[in-house]
Structure 1
Amino acid sequence: MNSIVRTVANNSHRFTVDDREMLFHVPTSGLFELDAVSSHILEACDNPQGESVMSLLGKLAEPCPSSEIVDTVAQLGDLKLISSDGVEAFNSEVKSLEQIPLATLVLNVNTGCNLSCSYCYKEDLDKPNNGQKMSFETAKQSIEMMLTESPDQPRYNIVFFGGEPLSNMPLIRDVVSYAEKRFAEINRPIDFSLTTNATMLTEEIVAYLNEHRIGVAISIDGPKAVHDKNRITVSGQGTYDVVRRKIEMLMQGYSARPIGARVTLTKGVTDIENIWDHLFNELGFSEVGFAPVTSGDISYYNLSEQELEAVFSNMKALGRRYIDAAAKGQSIGFSNMHQMLTDIHEGTKKALPCGAGAGMVAIDHSGGVNLCHRFTGSDLPLFGSVSEGLDREALTGFLETRMDRTDKGCNTCWIRNLCSGGCYHESYARYSDPQKPVYHYCDLMRDWIDFGLKAYSEITQANPDFMDTYIAPRRG
């Protein structure tokens, strides 16, 4: 009764939505509405000196029954929201990785690309005539390596990447044919997807993609004036007009899966809402996602600190429109918002920032195993090859190092289990170390996730069916 208890710093994030007091529980990534007793106790204990239980009983006896105060103190202690130990935060211990549940392969089918986008990060990118194409034998070995390493996954995925993946369409056809038969033999579903600049689409290719349910994402940066700034041919011509024609053809002939747009934001491009409006309402994409460039190899194209702040501010403006539409049972296809709400809805608790190296690896054209598609051609050491197999020791060592948050600042950050330090390649490009957190994003990400928690609370209050209708099915 006389022990001093204090709130555990950075183990929760409290906020108010429409007069409701909410709490994000960091250790479990759970979101709760606080009752009056819990709110009073947390507020009373939220000071450096703390409070004794006897003191809490004296201060809160009028608004709260004594027995309820004692019970709630115990419950908050069990949740590690208050403690008498003076700890700053509770974190799971770093565990050794006994298994790598490899279920996704990114196949870099050709280093060549028919475009010459000014900001492209691909370090192994070649002009069309110099493109290094992956062989079918390498692709086949990649699939067999995945099955050897992870034979019991419920679902598998193959992603075709480049360069421009459609420039090696014969290989894509061969891989799909082989994989469909191979995975049918073991009674496991296999999904295919690709990201393309759209310029090489034909009616025949669209029909093929539709027949085999190959997911399609289009790289497009917005309206003509924005897109043609950087997405240009080798001879320097803008590509918007041809890309738009190809997209219109795709929309007419493809119905297998939703079609997404991937937008790269570079220097001077921060107008999120107008870009989304053009791609979603005019061109008809099902989802639109935005990727800010802050650490590209060519610094000229990187967003400045002020521009990055503007990007996040404008993302919240579009997020506000997302919330209003969700309340009416509508989705406006804002991928960044979708992803954040999915993580909140599922109570995601990340030990690692993404599936790179754990659930997914990228295979370069010659069969090297890379952490992800962004590292093909980089100086980061390979993690094996499809002929020799996965270098499990090196890969698990790399991942376990990243999971250790000691002395990185992440161990006391309240978004640590939703962020986990951020993109490996962003850290690699900016700090020459993929193990470092992306410190230049920290404040912006905390603000963005705070916005997402409030959005989730608003949407579930106004239209609880929205999550089951639009968010939960995304994992499937």
Structure 2
Amino acid sequence: MGNSIHKFKQLGMNILLDPVSGAIHIVDDLTYDILDYYGKNSKDDIINIFQNKYPKDDIIDILDEIDELKAKGLLFSEDIYKNMAINRTDSVIKAMCLNIAHDCNLRCKYCFASTGDFNGGRKLMTFETGKKAIDFLIKSSGNRKNVEVDFFGGEPLMNYDVIKKLVDYGRKQAEHNGKTIKYTITTNAVLLDDEKIRYFNENFTNVVLSLDGRKEINDQMRIKIDKSGSYDIIVPKIKKFADSRGNKEYYVRGTFTAKNLDFTNDVLHIADLSIREVSVEPVVEKENTDYALREEHLDKILKEYDKLAEEYVKRIDEGNPFSFYHFKINLDNGPCIRKRLQGCGAGFEYVAVTPNEEIYPCHQFVGNEEYKLGTLDQGIVNDGIRQLFMGSDIYKREECTDCWVRFFCSGGCFANNYNMNGDINKPYKLSCEMQKKRFECAIAVKAYQMMREGGKIDKKVQMSNP
């Protein structure tokens, strides 16, 4: 039903979410129990059901409060977005993943990019190709002032000199065209050194560094060419970078697999390295490997997120907090409704460019000829694929239409959906269930923090108009 609510228990709280309005409420046991019957039974029937457990006057008061919240559109609100026509026929590119290196100095077992070469041979991007890519981004960004370039691989630092040249070139071209380019990079940190740390702190708005957690976990999957582990090489460098970063954005990102379903220990291990921005995410891999996540693992994974949430708020109370990417949620100023309906913008707001000058919807589609959008010389010529992504939204996915988390996850990752189900609009079920639990934890953590600070708990997730 479009006017359903979601209720759950987390961190010792009874929590209600009205998915459409975004209103969040912390309630007592009576309210929590009554909501299973509200709208399905008459008030007299509800009173009869609960009068042996709760005082009648309290039941009547709660029913009146629920009526009032419903009238205000804060509970059981109708889905006003369901018939909203996106009907986008054009869009500007605002971000580019620049695959600066189709090569890598690690051989991570779960690498979606075929250990760095994207199944297309090992190659580094030339400065000339990078210049053409930046020119394409500026030209394709229309009147948008701020655009973003994310240096990606493979391992980008294998092409560090070209990165520096492109940052300088991009800055000049952006200034000439009245724009600003924000630079980000994802690195395995093997080649990180003092000079690169200084350079990133001066020029990059965000830096993502890869580490899976505990040494024995990291070194099972993130291995060097000689099959030895990478932990001892990268951890001192990552720590040094984090210590130098100040208040600038960064995070250390790991991947958990079937080999470390106790991934809370890996999150905490990273945090205990004095790293305050952490993300450890589930591997996306089909079941023909020994490290793939399977449905039989789901119960353990969901309980592990519960465990992580408990430890997370414990550390807040102890004055030793850290930030876990999937537990961060902004209740005051969220994305516009169009963004919530359509997701990341791959293929029409965001593209990836390869060393061979090919354009794809995102880095995870690189090498898949079916999804090739064009080249830097041609521009985007496969308009059918662009329109496919542009026309996709949560209401085109049967599984998403009435799902309570639809406005938070936007139907999941296009690439994950395709890689697991062969269809960008068919959600990957295992990922869906993990997403739901992470958002429950995120909402509960935010509510816990607000209660701890003495703030008001009833809160509405803000969604501005398109």
TM-score by length of 2: 0.81
Give yes or no for the alignment of 1:332 onto 2:322: yes
Map Cα deviations across residues 53-75 of structure 1 (whole Å, 9 max, x no partner).
Answer: x9999x99967999x96x98587
Deviation at 1:314, TM superposition (A): 1.7
Counterpart Cα distance in 2 of 1:257 and 1:232: 29
Counterpart Cα distance in 2 of 1:298 and 1:353: 29
How is 1:110-121 mapped onto 2 (pairs within 5 angstroms)?
Answer: 110-121=101-112
Deviation at 1:244, TM superposition (A): 2.4
Preserved CA contact (<8 Å) 2:397 2:425: no
Range moving further from structure 2, 442-451 or 426-435: 442-451
Counterpart Cα distance in 1 of 2:240 and 2:310: 32
How is 1:301-380 mapped onto 2 (pairs within 5 angstroms)?
Answer: 301-326=291-316, 331-338=321-328, 341-342=329-330, 344-348=331-335, 349=337, 350-380=340-370
Which residue does the alignment assign to 1:452?
442
Alpha-carbon distance change, 184 to 266 in structure 1, aligned in 2, over 3 angstroms: same
Q: Which amino acid aligns with 1:76?
A: K
Q: Which amino acid aligns with 1:371?
A: P
Aligned equivalent of 1:233, options 194, 215, 224: 224
Give yes or no for the alignment of 1:263 onto 2:277: no
Map Cα deviations across residues 179-223 of structure 1 (whole Å, 9 max, x no partner).
Answer: 122223344332211111111123222222223235322111122
Counterpart Cα distance in 2 of 1:436 and 1:448: 20
Counterpart Cα distance in 2 of 1:74 and 1:323: 32
Which residue does the alignment assign to 1:206?
197
Counterpart Cα distance in 2 of 1:280 and 1:81: 38
Q: Which amino acid aligns with 1:314?
A: E
Alpha-carbon distance change, 260 to 38 in structure 1, aligned in 2, over 3 angstroms: closer
Counterpart Cα distance in 1 of 2:151 and 2:287: 24
Preserved CA contact (<8 Å) 1:329 1:466: no
Identity percentage over the alignment? 23
Alpha-carbon distance change, 439 to 223 in structure 1, aligned in 2, over 3 angstroms: closer
Q: Which amino acid aligns with 1:247?
A: I
Map Cα deviations across residues 56-105 of structure 1 (whole Å, 9 max, x no partner).
Answer: 99x99967999x96x9858725739559xxx9997243411244343211
Preserved CA contact (<8 Å) 1:14 1:21: yes
Counterpart Cα distance in 1 of 2:236 and 2:11: 46
Preserved CA contact (<8 Å) 1:295 1:426: no
Counterpart Cα distance in 2 of 1:93 and 1:445: 25
Deviation at 1:346, TM superposition (A): 3.4
Aligned equivalent of 1:25, options 18, 38, 42: 18
How is 1:177-188 mapped onto 2 (pairs within 5 angstroms)?
Answer: 177-188=168-179
Counterpart Cα distance in 1 of 2:181 and 2:397: 41
Deviation at 1:165, TM superposition (A): 0.3
Preserved CA contact (<8 Å) 2:101 2:153: yes
Q: Which amino acid aligns with 2:414?
A: Y
Aligned equivalent of 1:162, options 153, 164, 172: 153
Preserved CA contact (<8 Å) 2:278 2:324: yes
Q: Which amino acid aligns with 1:180?
A: R
Alignment: residue pair count: 448
Deviation at 1:176, TM superposition (A): 0.4
DSSP-derived class of the 2:99 partner: strand
Alpha-carbon distance change, 126 to 98 in structure 1, aligned in 2, over 3 angstroms: closer
Q: Which amino acid aligns with 1:357?
A: G
Counterpart Cα distance in 2 of 1:312 and 1:29: 23
Which residue does the alignment assign to 1:411?
401
Give yes or no for the alignment of 1:295 onto 2:295: no
Deviation at 1:249, TM superposition (A): 4.4
Deviation at 1:273, TM superposition (A): 2.6
Contiguous gaps of at least 5 residues in structure 2: none
Alpha-carbon distance change, 75 to 246 in structure 1, aligned in 2, over 3 angstroms: closer
Preserved CA contact (<8 Å) 1:30 1:347: no
Q: Which amino acid aligns with 1:265?
A: F
RMSD, aligned α-carbons? 4.0
Counterpart Cα distance in 1 of 2:320 and 2:312: 8
Deviation at 1:120, TM superposition (A): 0.9
Which residue does the alignment assign to 2:410?
420
Alpha-carbon distance change, 291 to 34 in structure 1, aligned in 2, over 3 angstroms: closer
Counterpart Cα distance in 2 of 1:76 and 1:108: 49
Aligned equivalent of 2:73, options 74, 79, 83: 79
Give yes or no for the alignment of 1:137 onto 2:124: no
Range moving further from structure 2, 92-101 or 73-82: 73-82
Q: Which amino acid aligns with 1:170?
A: D
Which residue does the alignment assign to 1:443?
433
Counterpart Cα distance in 2 of 1:256 and 1:419: 27
DSSP-derived class of the 2:113 partner: coil
Q: Which amino acid aligns with 1:23?
A: L
DSSP-derived class of the 2:412 partner: coil
Which residue does the alignment assign to 2:236?
245
Which residue does the alignment assign to 2:421?
431
Deviation at 1:316, TM superposition (A): 2.3
Map Cα deviations across residues 325-382 of structure 1 (whole Å, 9 max, x no partner).
Answer: 44567631212212xx23x453455112434234322112222221211121234421
Which residue does the alignment assign to 2:94?
103
Deviation at 1:121, TM superposition (A): 0.9
